[in-house]
């Protein structure tokens, strides 16, 4: 019986360790609209995220590490607010990408 308990403890510890390591290597991004008057939408890797009202910040979302694209557009008329940027994200980091007008 003691062998089974020790075996189960080893498995539980191994699962906890691997789960914790995976979370440490995750990369997260969020978007922040610092404009005083423009509702802006981030375009992340070609996909439009939700519009952000002035002063609003999005929740973090998990992404892969590596190079991505980001651009901001005006939610009212879809006109570009910024040129495209190519941030290179590192595993295990949190990033906030702001729009400033």
Please give the average per-residue pLDDT across 23-35, as a whole number: 90
Cα–Cα distance, 31 to 58 (Å, whole number): 5
Round the CA-based radius of gyration of the chain to a whole number and report it. Answer: 20
Measured in degrees and rounded to the nearest 5, phi and psi for residue 46 equal 85, -5
Cα–Cα distance, 89 to 81 (Å, whole number): 22
Topology given in CATH for the domain delimited by 27-99: Immunoglobulin-like (2.60.40)
**Tokens 């979370």 sit at which residue?**
23
Closest to 99 measured CA to CA, from 76, 81, 87, 77: 81
Q: What is the mean pLDDT of the chain?
A: 88
Does the pLDDT at position 43 exceed 90?
A: yes
Query: Could you tell me the pTM of the whole model?
Result: 0.75
């Amino acid at each position: 019986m003691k062998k089974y308990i020790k075996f189960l403890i080893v498995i539980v510890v191994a699962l906890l360790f691997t789960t914790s390591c995976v979370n440490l290597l995750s990369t997260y991004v969020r978007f922040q609209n610092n404009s005083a008057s423009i509702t802006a939408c981030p375009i992340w890797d070609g996909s439009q995220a939700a519009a952000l009202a002035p002063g609003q910040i999005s929740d973090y979302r998990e992404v892969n590490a590596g190079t991505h694209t980001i651009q901001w557009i005006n939610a009212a008329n879809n006109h570009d607010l910024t040129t495209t940027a190519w941030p290179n994200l590192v595993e295990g980091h949190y990033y906030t990408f702001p729009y400033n007008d």
